[in-house]
Amino acid sequence: EAEVAQSPRYKITEKSQAVAFWCDPISGHATLYWYRQILGQGPELLVQFQDESVVDDSQLPKDRFSAERLKGVDSTLKIQPAELGDSAMYLCASSASGGPYEQYFGPGTRLTVT
């Protein structure tokens, strides 16, 4: 069964350092989402791509976060500089362009900023 791949699974970084996460969606899925999940809460959308274009990045803290999906396949989310409050699980999801629009999630990257 096809899955969304994410790496790394765990990342520990110091405050003010740069960190990057990678996501490879299910083959053929045109829509890709990055969510942030703070411990004890539900995921919140950071950015959504349709192919290589950003559909919604209204909740992305653009002063320190950036995301790209250059060839419309895999995607990278970067934080620079990392802050203590960025400690969270970063989840990637993908969905097909046609219905029924279910989103399939990867295992996530657990980020700890010290």
Partner 1 sequence: GNSVTQMEGPVTLSEEAFLTINCTYTATGYPSLFWYVQYPGEGLQLLLKATKADDKGSNKGFEATYRKETTSFHLEKGSVQVSDSAVYFCALSLSGSARQLTFGSGTQLTVLP
Name the site residues for partner 1 (rule: CB under 8 A).
4, 6, 31, 33, 35, 40-45, 48, 50, 55-56, 91, 93, 95, 100-108, 110
Output the 3-class SS for 19-67. EEEEEECCCCCCEEEEEEECCCCCCEEEEEEECCEEEECCCCCCCCEEE
Residue with Cβ nearer partner 1 (10 or 15): 10
Is the CB of 84 or the CB of 101 nearer to partner 1?
101
Shortest distance in whole angstroms from residue 28 CB to partner 1: 17
Smallest gap from residue 10 Cβ to partner 1 (A): 9
**Sign (positive/negative) of CA torsion 10, 87, 69, 66?**
negative
